[in-house]
Amino acid sequence: MKTKTSSGSHRRPAKLWQLRLYVTDSTPKSLTAFSNLKKFCESHLKGRYRITVIDLVKQPQLAKGDQILAIPTVVRKLPKPMRTIIGNLSDTDHVLVGLDLHAAD
């Protein structure tokens, strides 16, 4: 079922991908995660993604909403359903699975 909804969104490629990256300060892990995510989006979602970086040190109240525990965490807000990847995104295969990128292709 899930794959069907994903493929449904696939038919509308104009759909914007909204990604949130939760970090704390500019730790090495956070920076790595950001560059990995950027690289990944450029190669797979060029032109149709938006990354919002949220620094929980500055906005701790936002952690509750997306149930953030691990840092760094990437949350796919759109397309639905919401998906979460934790880690510095160094493992590209897992990122592919985690973001369910097939939905975008």
Partner 1 sequence: MKTNAPKPISPATHLPKCPTGIQGLDEITGGGLPRGRPTLVCGGTGCGKTLLAVEFLVRGAVQFGEPGVFMAFEETEAELKANVASLGFDLAGLVRRKKIAIDYVHIERSEVQESGEYDLEGLFVRLNHAIDSIGAKRVVLDTLEALFASLPNEAILRAELRRLFRWLKVKGVTAVITAERGRDQLTRHGLEEYVSDCVILLDHRVNDQIATRHLRVVKYRGALHGTNEFPFLIGDEGISVLPITSLGLNHKVSSGRIATGIPRLDAMLGGRGFFRGSSILLTGTPGTGKTIVAANFAQAACRRGERTLFFSFEESPNQIIRNMHSIGLRLEPLVKRGLLRFHAARPSLYGLEMHLATMFKEIAAFQPHVVVMDPITSLMDSGTASECRAMVTRLVDYLKAGQVTTLFTSLTQGGHALQQSEASMSSLMDSWLLLQDFEGNGERNRVLYVLKARGMAHSNQIREFLISNRGVDLVDAYIGPSGVLTGAARVAQTAREKAEALASQQEAARRQRELKRKRAALEQQIAGLRSEHEASAEELRQIDEQVGRRTRLLTTERTELGRLRQADVSVAASARGNSKPKSKL
Q: Give contact residues for partner 1 (rule: CB under 8 A).
A: 22, 24, 27, 29, 32-33, 36, 56-57, 60-61, 63-64, 67-73, 82-92, 94-95, 97-99
Distance separating alpha carbons of residues 25 and 104, to the nearest angstrom: 31
> Quick one: how far is CA 38 from the chain centroid?
10
Q: Quick one: 8 or 81, whose CB is closer to partner 1?
A: 81
Q: Quick one: 28 or 47, whose CB is closer to partner 1?
A: 28
39 contacts: CB under 8 Å, gap ≥ 6: none
Distance separating alpha carbons of residues 33 and 104, to the nearest angstrom: 21
Least Å distance, CB 77 to partner 1, is: 13
Least Å distance, CB 31 to partner 1, is: 12
